[in-house]
């Protein structure tokens, strides 16, 4: 990968370029994580104490499958939609049943010792059209360390401004291509607060709209659990009240 920086401007736009054929161009996502630096002074005193420093390590990951052509800008009215298209078809039920059969087979051979000799007969991976590509390791490019405090809103804004220079523009230079910006749960919360702090900016770049905060791994499950819990405990619907009562009974 080559990193090119255009000259001129306060925030020159940077480019991420992979040497691939045009028909195999892939999208990419950005990510940053806290870097902790704890220097130790040889002679410490009241005026010479070690300071704990936080920085941000940034990198880009190339998607193994192209997602540039998956965005559909067409918008249709809800009244124009066919209700049958929103319901699962018989093929969907058949596919779901086949998946459940595979999962049950895995559970049986894993937890019943008498069936462990049938492990080689069980499908341990559900193949799909991207299976071969997903076996290849993700290509990651280091974008450097940002000397900004990610625990503050000002530091998070500085980090996002640095990453925003890698956001591609449309051919006419009028529209940003939004790119996922991955991080843990706390980093996502800080990025959302940073975008709220810049909500009154004039341009989309000033509002940091090119970066889409995306929680990853178990943090995504934690955020989903928070949303569901908040919905259940705040909702006045009878169904949610029954779930709430059941949770309280099991807790007691």
Tell me how many degrees the CA angle 86-91-96 measures, rounded to the nearest 5.
Answer: 90
Q: Is 8's pLDDT higher than 70? A: no
Q: What is residue 69's predicted lDDT score, i.e. its pLDDT?
A: 54
Q: How many whole angstroms separate alpha carbon 23 and alpha carbon 20?
A: 8
Coil/strand/helix, residue 28: strand
Residue 132's φ and ψ, nearest 5 degrees, are -65, -40
Considering only residues 19 and 222, tell me which one the structure prediction assigns the higher pLDDT.
222
Q: What is residue 130's predicted lDDT score, i.e. its pLDDT?
A: 79
Note whether 143 and 62 are within 8 A (CB).
no
Tokens, residue 76? 């249709």
Note whether 62 and 18 are within 8 A (CB).
yes
Q: What is residue 186's predicted lDDT score, i.e. its pLDDT?
A: 85
Average pLDDT over the chain, rounded to whole?
76
- DSSP-H helix ranges across the chain: 90-111, 131-134, 153-164, 185-197, 217-234, 238-251
Q: What is residue 251's predicted lDDT score, i.e. its pLDDT?
A: 45
Note whether 28 and 179 are within 8 A (CB).
yes
Instruction: Select from 191, 201, 202 the least CA-distant residue to 153.
Output: 191
Q: How many whole angstroms separate alpha carbon 23 and alpha carbon 1?
A: 18
Neighbouring C-beta atoms of residue 15, cutoff 10 Å: 13
The mean pLDDT of 99-108, rounded to a whole number, is 92
Q: Using one digit for the tens of pLDDT, what is the confidence trace for 41-79?
A: 666 667 666 666 788 889 888 887 766 555 556 777 777
Q: Is 175's pLDDT higher than 80? A: no
Tokens, residue 52? 């704990």
Q: What is residue 197's predicted lDDT score, i.e. its pLDDT?
A: 92
pTM: 0.62
Q: What is residue 89's predicted lDDT score, i.e. its pLDDT?
A: 87
């Amino acid at each position: 990968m080559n990193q090119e920086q255009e000259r001129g401007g306060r925030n020159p736009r940077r480019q991420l370029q992979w040497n691939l054929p045009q028909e195999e161009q892939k999208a990419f996502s950005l990510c940053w994580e806290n870097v902790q630096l704890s220097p130790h002074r040889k002679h410490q005193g009241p005026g010479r104490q070690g300071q704990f420093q936080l920085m941000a390590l940034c990198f880009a990951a190339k998607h193994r499958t192209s997602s540039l052509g998956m965005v559909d800008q067409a918008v249709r009215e809800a009244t124009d939609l066919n209700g049958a298209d929103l319901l699962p078809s018989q093929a969907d039920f058949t596919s779901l049943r086949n998946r459940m059969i595979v999962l049950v087979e895995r559970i049986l051979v894993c937890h019943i010792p008498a069936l462990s000799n049938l492990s080689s007969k069980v499908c341990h991976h559900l193949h799909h059209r991207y299976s071969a590509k997903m076996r290849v390791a993700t290509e990651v490019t280091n974008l450097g360390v940002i000397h900004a405090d990610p625990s503050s809103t000002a530091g998070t804004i500085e980090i996002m401004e640095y990453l925003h220079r890698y956001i591609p523009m449309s051919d006419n230079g009028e529209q940003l291509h939004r790119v996922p910006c991955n991080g843990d749960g706390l980093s996502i919360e800080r990025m959302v607060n940073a975008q709220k702090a810049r909500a009154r900016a004039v341009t989309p770049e000033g509002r940091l709209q090119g970066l889409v905060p995306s929680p990853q791994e178990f943090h995504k499950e934690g955020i989903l659990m928070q949303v569901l819990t908040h919905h259940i405990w705040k909702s006045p619907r009878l169904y949610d009240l029954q779930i709430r009562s059941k949770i309280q009974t099991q807790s007691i």
